[in-house]
Amino acid sequence: MADNYLVEPDVGFIKEVSALGGQDVKKCFQCATCSVVCPISPDTQPFPRKEMIAAGWGLKDRVLNSADIWLCHNCGDCSTKCPRGAQPGDVLAALRTYAVSEYVSEVKPFQKLAKMVNDPKALPVLLAIPAVIFIVLGLITGLLDFTPEGEEIVHAHFFSTWLVDMIMIPASIFAAAAFALGLKNFVTRMHENALRDGKTDKKDLDPVGIVRGIITSVPAIIRHDKFNECTENRERSTAHMMVLFGFIGLAIVTGIFFVVLYGFQIHGPYSQLNPVKWLANVSGVALVIGSILMLKQRLAKSDQISTYKDWYHIGLALALGLSGMLTEMTRLAGMGGLSYFIYFLHLMFVFSLFVYTPFSKLAHLVYRTVAIGYNEWSGRK
């Protein structure tokens, strides 16, 4: 005899998912075409049909606690083939956005910040926060100089590296704490969901095993194997890889220069012949070009639902790349005032990347990777 399951629809959840881009979820009439055409859906309990049913019924806990919403790469095959125009790919994207806020909802400031990050009206406030922090803390400590002396343009003379790190290090710790809380809740709920639905027979969570699963999956993630299995949006793979590798390259550069500055006391600006500078420039160009390609591809998809969350993460990536490149170009061109101003904007965008990413669409870089690692560890294929 099948187990009884009490259905408790959450109408508010349905409305919020609709507002985040899943407004066509109620068009689904459960034909399962989406699960059949999806090239990356698991053989056992494939998605996204069951997610569409759960979302349409307002079964919040059942759908948000599943790893499957993160295993989806939103390639668009299901939405293209859907005979009802229910847009399953967009519904799952909306569920992921909602889930990010849900995972950190235990901490009220995190919950409020998550809502602000996904609200276009709050964008001016979000950008004003780092601007005010930099200026006020800079003036209090005396580490901000609006009129740096000397003919050579040195950004550290404008914004001291001590001031930058005094803000960015706590910002990165804040982001790590938000991700740690979110992942703790996500993994716990995901495992409970998998046990209930028979997706795994492993009773006890094994963090080491999940980490091994992540490591095993990294080559496929780097190669974008899942993206390349898609047909509708396969061209997204190139742009997505450029943005990903751009961020990875710039993270490596930042780490190296941090060690060089504080470990070896070697201050910038650094020579353009420096190999690390080459990596920085190549990564910056990849980030800019990849972001522009993503923007172009999304604009070309008139049948694909685009919401603020989609434009936010593309816009932030593009703003980071452009401001970083323009800061360097104006410095080399001897345009001091403009270079210092653009550098200030760049610092605002970097702060936004650290502090707001755990609550934005960019968080999928972490949650999807963990979901893939969990799937590998759990033995579900």
Over residues 365-375, the pLDDT tens digits come to: 999 999 999 98
Pick 242 or 304 by higher pLDDT.
242
Contact between 69 and 99 under an 8 Å Cβ cutoff? The reply is yes
Give the separation between CA 344 and CA 130, rounded to whole angstroms: 10
Name which residue leads in pLDDT, 145 or 319: 319
The predicted structure's pLDDT at residue 341: 94
pLDDT digits (tens, 9 = 90+) for 83-111: 999 999 999 999 999 999 889 988 888 88
**Residue 140 pLDDT exceeds 70:** yes
Rounded to an integer, the average pLDDT of 58-75 is 88
d(CA 20, CA 98): 8
Indicate the pTM of the whole model.
0.88
pLDDT of residue 381: 63
For 249-265, b/e burial (b = at least 16 CB within 10 A) is: bbeebeeebeebeeeee
Q: Is 248 helix (H, G, I), strand (E, B) or coil?
A: helix
pLDDT score, position 352: 96
Q: How confident is the model at residue 261 (pLDDT cuts 50, 70, 90)?
A: confident
Most confident of 87-101, 227-241, 265-279: 87-101
Query: Is residue 122's pLDDT more than 90?
Result: yes
Mean of the per-residue pLDDT values for the chain? 89
pLDDT at 4: 66
Q: What's the pLDDT band for 377 if we cut at 50, 70, 90? A: very high
Which tokens go with 55?
A: 């979302």
Cα(117)–Cα(356) distance, rounded to whole angstroms?
A: 7
Domains along the chain with CATH numbers: 11-103 (1.10.1060.10), 108-378 (no CATH)
Res 5: pLDDT: 63
The half-sphere exposure of 356 on its side-chain side, counting CA atoms within 13 A, is: 25
Of the pLDDT bands very low, low, confident and very high (cuts 50, 70, 90), residue 2 is low
More reliable by pLDDT, 116 or 273: 116
Average pLDDT over residues 272-278: 88
Alpha carbon separation from 109 to 63, 158, 277, 309, 360 (Å, rounded): 24, 32, 38, 20, 15
Sorting pLDDT into bands at 50, 70 and 90, what band is 1?
A: very low
